[in-house]
Amino acid sequence: MMPDGKKNVLLAVSGSIAAYKACDIARAFVKEGVSVTVTLTPNGAKFVTPVTFETLTNSKCLIDTFDRNFKFEVEHIAAAKAADVCLIAPASADIIGKIANGIADDMATTTIMAATCPKLIAPAMNTAMYDNPIVQENLAKLVRYGYKIITPDTGLLACGDVGRGKLAPVETIVEEANKVLSGTGRPKDLAGKKVLITAGPTQEAIDPVRYITNHSSGKMGYALAEAARDRGADVVLVSGQVALTPPPGMTVVKIVSAADMAEAVFAEFPDTDVLIMAAAVADYRPKTVADQKIKKSGGGMTIELERTTDILGTLADKKTHQFVCGFSMETENLIENSRKKLVKKKLDMIAANSIRDEGAGFAHDTNKVTVITQEDLCDLPLTSKAETAHLILDEIVRRL
């Protein structure tokens, strides 16, 4: 946190051609009103000059450990203390190796070593370098020490090769750092509480190669899990098959079908304090699952479906002390239909989503939710899923 109360990102830029993208990263935070301190490695400075970052961030770019032009403070320690999140982007094989092995021989690596805030690393390098087992071992070691790796993309690299190692998109990097920032400074008002969250779609098998599913990306459930963790809860995340990295600092139970999800939730429920069912659970599954791949025939085909267990419906009579929040996604009559679910499933709260609203619903990084209880109705603003998650938790905590 800066003396003026602004959140601060410490952006360490190392020697990779992707260093030019760090300018867009810095700019994105400045636009959000977040202060950015850039520290450049000497090799990073060969790709982008400190002046570029200073102009973009309106603050001094830290590059020389022995710079005498300072305000009587030890700069790398002051920068480390002010940081709410440390983002190493792009991270070359060299800086990854140095951090993993405790080497601090320039301004960037000393500042990173002194920083105690959460640290995110966005690697960028040639595929053969990225796949080198030593680099992979260094990354695995950093994960063990609590660093989060923002997985690089696969694509055309600056060297002309096609493969893994392309810096993750700027938006992804900014979003990951924002998740951390939205958690900093939050009250630990869920400390000592067990929060059970379901996320993502279920898959209902038709035969060994086909299944019925839906468009849920899992992003809202994962955002809730991360927000609850940041507020001190013991989080169990029961997740359908999604393309998201399991968040650190919680128990993640991966499931496939509605039946698997029901089993996992029923097992965890008795000592849970708060259950949030953000998952898009299939209401129907094929009545029979073929042992072998179904071969096509001349005419049409009919699949007979049967109901899955209504997880929330079943829990209604098993509730003791738990606060239960459901989710509802509708294309019409959002409030009326969501209220019906609240009553029918005996929920304490339902978070209602209209997929007709711009920027809300499946796969987006933003959401617009109306929180409904027996007594109240509260329209939350259109905002990031990370912020929406905290706003929903605010509503839950107020009622615990």
Report CA-CA distances (Å) from 2 to 53, 111, 161, 270, 322. Answer: 18, 16, 42, 43, 39
> Which residue pairs from 254-258 have beta carbons closer than 8 angstroms and sit at least 24 positions apart in sequence?
255/202, 256/202, 256/203, 257/202, 257/203, 257/204, 257/205, 257/282, 257/285, 257/308, 258/202, 258/204, 258/282, 258/285, 258/308, 258/309, 258/311
Report CA-CA distances (Å) from 242 to 156, 330, 344. Answer: 25, 21, 29
Radius of gyration of the chain (CA): 24
Please give the Cα distance from 90 to 108 (Å, whole number).
Answer: 12
Residue 107 or 281: the one with the smaller Cβ distance to ligand CTP is: 281
Residue 279 or 386: the one with the smaller Cβ distance to ligand CTP is: 279
Instruction: Kindly state the smallest distance separating residue 351's Cβ from ligand CTP, in Å.
Output: 8
Residue 341 or 390: the one with the smaller Cβ distance to ligand CTP is: 341
Taking phi first (over 0 means left), then psi (-120 to 50 degrees means alpha), and beta for anything else, what does residue 294 get?
A: beta
Residue 9 or 224: the one with the smaller Cβ distance to ligand CTP is: 224
Three-state DSSP class for 325?
strand
159 is catalytic: yes
Instruction: Kindly state the smallest distance separating residue 16's Cβ from ligand CTP, in Å.
Output: 42
Instruction: Kindly state the smallest distance separating residue 282's Cβ from ligand CTP, in Å.
Output: 7
> Which residue pairs from 327-336 have beta carbons closer than 8 angstroms and sit at least 24 positions apart in sequence?
327/220, 327/276, 327/277, 327/278, 327/279, 327/351, 327/352, 327/353, 328/352, 328/353, 329/280, 329/353, 329/354, 329/355, 329/361, 330/354, 330/355, 331/355, 331/356, 332/356, 334/370, 335/370, 335/372, 335/377
Binding site for ligand CTP (CB under 6 A): 258, 277, 279, 281, 283, 308-312, 326-329, 341
Instruction: Kindly state the smallest distance separating residue 398's Cβ from ligand CTP, in Å.
Output: 20
State the catalytic residue, choosing from 23, 159, 325, 378.
159
> Does residue 142 contact residue 96 with C-beta atoms inside 8 Å?
yes
Residue 121 or 281: the one with the smaller Cβ distance to ligand CTP is: 281
Residue 62 or 275: the one with the smaller Cβ distance to ligand CTP is: 275
Instruction: Kindly state the smallest distance separating residue 341's Cβ from ligand CTP, in Å.
Output: 5
Residue 88 or 329: the one with the smaller Cβ distance to ligand CTP is: 329
Q: List the one residue out of 315, 320, 229 whose CA is nearest residue 271.
A: 320
Instruction: Kindly state the smallest distance separating residue 250's Cβ from ligand CTP, in Å.
Output: 19
Instruction: Kindly state the smallest distance separating residue 182's Cβ from ligand CTP, in Å.
Output: 23
Q: List the one residue out of 148, 200, 170, 236 whose CA is nearest residue 363.
A: 200
- Write out the catalytic residue numbers: 159
